[in-house]
Chain A
Amino acid sequence: MIQNLTTEMFIQSVANAISVGSLYAMVAIGYTMVYGILRLINFAHSDIFMMSMYFVFYLITIFALPWPIAFIAAVLATGVLGIVVEAAAYRPLREAPRISVLISSIGVSYLMENFGVVVFSGIQKQFPPVPAFQSVVVIGSIYFQKLSLYMPVVTAISVVGLLYLIDKTKIGMAMRATSKDYETAKLMGININTVISTTFAIGSMLACVGAIMWGLKYPKIEPYVGIMPGLKCFIAAVIGGIGNIKGAVVGAYLLGFMEIMIVLFIPALSSYKDAFAFIMLIAILLLRPAGILGEKKADKV
């Protein structure tokens, strides 16, 4: 198998791994931000991802908007959706045990999937094509979708913007304070609910950008489309060190490379592709539970 491997195939795979990693990064950031602030695995994040794909679909097919406007509108709508989910399902449980909030996020996820089946129907839909992204570029003997050139750029811009927001602005400082110590942040006059809403809005908007790129790369949508990407991106966030944004990006690219490269070098395992992510998750949880960039925290007694 390996002797058939050509340089072209390898470069093609590297490009593929970079674009998949960029996709994972956009969604993984949402998980990691929410975890950083609420210490919650937001199971509903994968369904926010799914809903945003449908937003794009309907904005382009029914409202017939040109794609740039549709994309921006979808990103904003998803941000609002994130805020609504937080206010409806997590805010009432602010003082409840953490497990209750986790169960609530599972409940919301289940609710959004069933909502999707009723409103959008369970029948697979085609993500509207955007030729500007999907045309093919030829470099030497290697074929790229234009999209896979744009993806890392979009991710890089988003991550730099986000890091600027978190490190340099006032709301960013409030976010850092809240994730460090919830109670003290409250005492310092930070409006916790605003901070949490903002976090959800940003996380969801990034997930929407990820979903748009996902839809352009794998153009089919159904109400359960978010589950696998969601789980994998969560795993990416854990690998990088959950709660750490740079970690989520590192973890996402690492996971993308692992998946593509294992399939490239050992094609016999390609049907087990989805299991790799989970195996990696368990390995990292055992060897370095705090993740690659995470800091180890002692338990408070």
Chain B
Amino acid sequence: MKDLSKNASRILTAVALAGFAVFLWLAYKGIALGPYEARIVRLSGIYAIAALSMNLINGFTGQFSLGQAGFMALGAYTTSLLVIPPEAKESLYWVEPINPFVRNLQAPFLVALIAGGLMASFFAFFIGFPVLRLKGDYLAIATLGFSEIIRIFITNLIPITNGPVGLKNIPSTANILWTSLSCAAIVVLLLRLMKTSYGRTFKAIRDDEVAAEAMGISLFKHKLMSFLLSAFIAGISGGLLASVVGAITPAYFRFTLAYEILLIVVLGGQGSITGSVVGAIILSVSKEWLRFLDSGFNLLFFRVPEIAGLRMLVFSLLLMAIILFYRRGLFGSREFSWNSIYRPIAFLINKIRKPKKEAGDDSA
């Protein structure tokens, strides 16, 4: 049994991507999906971006950071403040009047998204300097702490962020094309990055810091680079998220958001780019699919009443099962390959064919 040739794999990938592009185009035109399904696809894309951002620093560089929620909040607020029209902003700020400088800031959506990413990176730079000297769980708790500090400041800087009330009427620019194309761009960026010397350096740091340092790698410089890029990507996902949900509050960016993203990364496999994307899709779709649990359902012969939150309980049980029994996730640290689908199929076909062949041999 032979593996697929490189060309065959390429053709399959091209066909799958083309099919996906057609599907997205139809979805964009409103033919393939209704608005509700389209929203799930948009959210999957955004969760995929957020998971990629966490995977870059956790899975590829081996630095366990839980600060994603804070960076997403920075991105979301920056983007929103740049895209909400000044008059609309003014009417939102009824607790305290808006800072005039913030009121008049305006930018097109793409610029606003990138600004959100840069804002997250900017803060990551100052956070990374002290924090990246820490290791393992200390780093986790320090980044989590910083993300909470960011959230507390957002809650209290009322003239700029509108405080706990949050921002509303964020233009819904991020349609299905925006989210999917951004996600695709970041996937390609990361796939390319991991082939460069920087990518290999990140992996070297993950696998053995001491050995990496002995090979002349500057640990701090590369950790900071990975951290900044990760924050940038998280900022972008935050900006897109703000545009999709339309209203954000500081409470939205509690560190439980970082937990959810972490669980996507674990599900897909730490250190697998395609894994994060698949994980995000599975997670967003199954969370919606499990929604029937909240509204009551028929279990064999009796009716289970409506229980709020049952969906999330079942969901977290499934996640615990993955964590305990399927620790490496769907893809481990490998990427998706057609061979992983082809091999079992080819194996089965061979099994079915073989007895026939043997019969033929006997008659001859």
Listed in ascending order, the chain A residues whose CB lies under 8 Å from chain B are: 39-41, 89, 92-93, 96, 98-100, 102-104, 106-111, 113-115, 117-118, 121-122, 231, 234-235, 238, 271-272, 274-275, 278-279, 281-282, 285-286, 289, 301
Residues in A with CB closer than 8 Å to B307 are 118
Which residues from chain A contact B288 at a C-beta distance below 8 Å? none
Q: Mark B138-157, 1 if CB is under 8 A from A, else 0.
A: 10111011101100110110
B310 touches A281 (CB 8 A): no
Say whether B312 contacts A286, CB under 8 Å: no
Residues of B within 8 A of A285 (CB): 131, 134, 138, 142
Question: Looking across the interface, which residue of chain A has its beta carbon closest to that of B266?
Answer: A103
Partner of B141, one of A103, A109, A238: A238
With A41-B137, A274-B152, A285-B138 in contact, do A92 and B324 touch (Cβ < 8 Å)? yes
Q: Which of B137, B312, B320 has the most CB of A within 10 A?
A: B137
- Measured between beta carbons, the chain B residues less than 8 angstroms from A278 are 145-146, 148-149
Would you give the shortest CB distance from B126 to chain A, in whole angstroms? 11
Can you name 6 A-B residue pairings with CB atoms under 8 Å? A40-B137, A102-B140, A272-B153, A278-B148, A279-B149, A282-B131
Closest to B209 in A: A299
In the bound assembly, the distance between CA atoms of A272 and B151 in angstroms comes to 10
> Is B64 a contact partner of A99 (Cβ separation < 8 A)?
yes
Compute how far the CA of A89 lies from the CA of B266 in the bound complex, rounded to whole angstroms.
16
Structural contact, B323 and A104, CB atoms closer than 8 A = yes
**Residues of chain A within 8 A of B324, CB atoms compared:** 89, 92-93, 104
Whether the Cβ atoms of B320 and A111 lie closer than 8 Å is: yes
Tell me the bound Cα distance from A102 to B143 in angstroms. 15
C-alpha gap A274/B151 in the complex (Å)? 10
State the Cβ distance, A187 to closest chain B Cβ, in Å: 26
A103 to B209, CA, bound (A): 21
A41-B141, A103-B262, A115-B316 given. 7 additional CB < 8 A pairs?
A111-B319, A114-B313, A234-B141, A278-B145, A281-B141, A282-B145, A289-B134
> Which B residues, 309 to 323, have Cβ-Cβ distances below 8 Å to chain A?
309-310, 312-313, 315-317, 319-320, 323
Bound-complex Cα distance A111 to B316 (A): 5
Please classify the interface of chain A as helix (H, G, I), strand (E, B), loop, or mixed, using the class held by over half of its residues. Answer: helix
Contact present for B316 and A110 (CB under 8 Å): yes
Kindly identify which residue among A41, A100, A271, A289 contacts B323, using a CB–CB cutoff of 8 Å. Answer: A100
What's the count of A-B pairs with C-beta under 8 Å? 109
Residues of chain A within 8 A of B152, CB atoms compared = 272, 274-275
Give complex CA distance A106, B315 in Å.
14
Residues of chain B with a CB closer than 8 A to A100's CB = 323, 327
Q: How far is the CB of B299 from chain A (nearest CB, A)?
A: 16
CB neighbours of A110 from chain B (8 A): 256, 259, 263, 316, 319
Q: Which residues in B have their C-beta under 8 angstroms from that of A274?
A: 148, 152
Asked whether, in the complex, the Cβ of B320 is within 8 Å of the Cβ of A89, the reply is yes
A111 and B309 alpha carbons, distance in the complex (Å):
11
Residue from A40, A96, A108, A275 having most chain B Cβ neighbours under 10 A: A275
Q: Inside 8 A of A118's CB, which chain B residues have their CB?
A: 307-310, 312-313
B133 touches A275 (CB 8 A): no
**Complex interface: chain A residues within 8 A of B137 (CB):** 39-41, 98, 102
| B210 within 8 Å of A (CB atoms) | yes
Residues A282 and B136 in contact in the complex (CB < 8 Å), given A107-B316, A115-B313, A231-B148: no
Per a CB cutoff under 8 Å, which of B130, B313, B316 touches A286? B130
Give the docked Cα–Cα distance between A299 and B131 (Å): 18
The distance in angstroms between the C-alpha atoms of A286 and B139, with both chains bound, is 11
Q: Which 7 A-B pairs have the closest CB atoms?
A: A278-B145, A117-B309, A111-B316, A114-B312, A275-B152, A114-B313, A118-B309
Which of A40, A93, A110, A238 has most chain B Cβ within 10 Å? A110
Q: How far is the CA of A301 from the CA of B146 in the complex (A)?
A: 30
Partner of A272, one of B130, B156, B309: B156
CA distance A169 to B315 in the complex (A): 43
Across the two chains, which residue of chain A brings its CB closest to B293? A118
Q: B134 contacts A106, CB within 8 Å?
A: no
Among residues of A, the one whose C-beta sits closest to the C-beta of B133 is A286
A100 to B152, CA, bound (A): 29
- For B92-130 the 0/1 string (1 means CB < 8 A from A) is 000000000000000000000000000000000000001
A123–B295 alpha-carbon span in the complex (Å):
18
Chain A proximity of B180: nearest CB distance (Å): 28
Instruction: Identify which of B134, B138, B320 contacts A107 (C-beta below 8 A).
Output: B320
B130 touches A282 (CB 8 A): yes
Instruction: Report how far A109 CA is from B210 CA in the complex, Å.
Output: 33
Q: Cβ of A301: which chain B residues have Cβ within 8 Å of it? A: 210
- List B contacts of A272 (CB < 8 A): 152-153, 156
Q: What are the residues of chain B within 8 A of A111 when measuring CB–CB?
A: 313, 316-317, 319-320
Complex Cα distance, B145 from A121, in Å, reads 28
How far is the CB of B246 from the nearest CB of chain A, in Å? Answer: 23
In the assembled complex, which residues on chain B have CB atoms less than 8 Å from the CB atom of A286? 130, 133
Question: Shortest distance in angstroms between B209's beta carbon and chain A's nearest beta carbon?
Answer: 9
Q: Quick one: closest B residue to A274, CB to CB?
A: B152
Q: Chain A residues with Cβ under 8 A from B134's Cβ?
A: 285, 289
**Chain B nearest CB, measured from A89 CB (Å):** 7
Complex contacts, B140 vs chain A, CB 8 Å: 41, 102
Question: B residues within 8 A CB of A106?
Answer: 259, 262-263
Q: In chain B, residues 36-88, which have Cβ atoms closer than 8 Å to a Cβ of chain A? A: 64
Contacts of B131 in A (CB 8 A): 282, 285
